[in-house]
Structure 1
Amino acid sequence: MSPRKQRNLREKERRTRMKHLFIILSSHVSPTHRLPVPQLIDQATSYMIQLKEKVNYLREKKMSLLGAMGNQSDGSSSLLPKLNIYSRDSTIEMNLIMDMNMKRVMLHELISVFEEEGAQVMNANLQNLNDRMIIYTIVGQAMIYWNGIDPSRIEERIRNIIY
């Protein structure tokens, strides 16, 4: 095979490979319809920036939660459990930090409080830290938007469970 034919074959394989990679990227960025390559790259870039910002936000949030636990110089759990509930529009988020030596709380108990108060649980997470602490995180959204969710009622019911 001549050098020119080899070069043409390599270029054809490169184009085919690039086309395949763009199809894969398109399926992740815009799975409903194919976009032209420049638009696809723009959307992929903005999506990556959004993901990076979200990772930074979650990292800062984790550090602030861990910082709250690190303020206990003698290692006691006098400040625990620590319950934070944030509400915005129709979304509510709960973060609960507990010592493992305290009363055991099951994640499904906390989820059922959200559901009974009219929230659809979007995300629920349980994380063990340092074999001492447990972090529960639940994010819910009002099933009926105009009714909203009463954060004080959810907080009261969760406090009854953890104490």
Structure 2
Amino acid sequence: MEREKEIGEGSSLSLREKRNLREKERRMRMKDLFCLLSSHVSPTRRLPVPQLIDQATSYMIQLKEKVTYLKEKKKTLLEGEVGCRSERSSSSLLPKLSIHSRGSIIEMNLIISVNMKRLTLHELLGVFEEEGAQVMSANLQNLNDRTAYTIIAQAIISRIGIDPSRIEKRARDIIF
């Protein structure tokens, strides 16, 4: 009989033994789940199960309140931004262009309204290349009602360098 249990031949376990085995597995699984919950709720000390459940419940309620608060805050911030946009003068919607030069590397940041003239990244890259720069990275990002362009370039011949004022003038000609 013992040999059959070890080898696994046939069903030698009684119904009661099977039920006991399933119950033991269930208890072990529950114990593992409570340990996992305890590690999230109270990682510093081990709590009895009733206290652990109480603490987990209050923690979940706090998280739910925090999510509600953050959603309301986001909504008020977005409404405030929309209100500010409508109060802005038309000059604040003009493109914002900034060019920074560090040695033979030049970086251009441009923020333009979606409602303004359609501008392609290719046009801006052409300005850099025509002025003797090799584009290292170019990025275009759409933000709600604006588009942000970031271009980083390096002078092809570092002795000659790049003239940021010429690039700025040519970029402004394309933009306006």
Q: Per the shorter chain, which TM-score range? A: 0.5 to 0.7
Is 1:143 paired with 2:153? Answer: no
1:49 alignment partner in structure 2: none
User: What TM-score results when the alignment is normalised by the length of structure 1?
Assistant: 0.54
Aligned amino acid, residue 165 of structure 2: S
Specify which structure has the higher proportion of helix.
2
Counterpart CA distance in 1 for 2:146 and 2:155 is 29
Per the alignment, in what secondary structure is the counterpart of residue 147 of structure 1? coil
Q: Which of 142, 158, 165 is matched with 1:152 structurally? A: 165
Q: Which amino acid aligns with 2:174?
A: I
User: Deviation digits for residues 24-76 of structure 1, max 9, x if unmatched?
Assistant: xxxxxxxxxxxxxxxxxxxxxxxxxxxxxxxxxxxxxxxxxxxxxxx867245
TM-superposed CA distance for 1:78, in Å, is 1.9
- The CA deviation at 1:140 is 0.1
Q: Percent identity?
A: 66
Amino acid at match of 1:74: E
Q: Which residue of 1 is the match for residue 91 of structure 2?
A: 78
Counterpart residue number, 2:138: 124
1:106 aligns with 2:124: no
**Pair member with larger Rg:** 2
**What residue in structure 2 maps to residue 133 of structure 1?**
146
Moved over 3 A (4+): none
Could you tell me whether the CA contact under 8 Å between 1:77 and 1:99 is conserved in 2? no
Distance between the aligned counterparts of 2:96 and 2:116, measured in 1?
A: 12
Separation in structure 2 between the aligned mates of residue 135 and residue 77 of structure 1, nearest angstrom: 18
RMSD: 1.9
Counterpart Cα distance in 1 of 2:89 and 2:149: 20
- Give the aligned partner of residue 111 of structure 2: 97
Aligned equivalents of 1:72, 1:85: Cα separation in 2: 25
The count of aligned residue pairs is 93
- Could you list the runs of 5+ residues in structure 2 that have no partner in the other structure? 1-83
For structure 1, list consecutive stretches of 5 or more residues without a partner in the other structure.
Answer: 1-70
